[in-house]
Amino acid sequence: MTDRGWKIFAVLSIVVSLIFVFIDWRMMTGFILGCAASAFVYQNTVHYVDRTLAKHVSTGMAYHLTLNYLIWTAVLILSAVLPQFFNVLCCAAGLFIIRICLITDSFWHKKEA
């Protein structure tokens, strides 16, 4: 993702978190947890792709995908088990925020070309 994509991610995460804090602080904490997990999974994928391109062999894909799914699952279970601290639906929205930023960045890039 480009620097502009990370800026979109940061601005969108902060704006949505500020909106959620005025509605209910548990929505904000759930969303932030989902955003953090989303960024971590994205970085994990970047490292996997870089390693694969460097070695010219795609090994460990099952482990990579399993780790990503375990992270997503752990975050959602944590939100479901601790509803007094996190909102599970906002956590799920936070997990999708990186995808929204990637799509927004790609549309923005097409307009400039």
pLDDT recorded at residue 10: 93
pLDDT recorded at residue 5: 85
Q: What is the DSSP letter of 46?
A: H
pLDDT recorded at residue 105: 86
Q: How far apart are CA 27 and CA 40, in angstroms?
A: 20
CA 6, distance to chain mean position in Å, is 11
Residue whose pair of structure tokens reads 């930023």 in the numeric block: 101
Per-residue pLDDT of the chain (113 residues; tens, 9 = 90+): 778 888 989 999 999 999 999 999 999 999 999 999 999 999 999 888 888 888 887 777 888 889 999 999 999 999 999 989 999 999 999 999 999 998 888 887 666 65
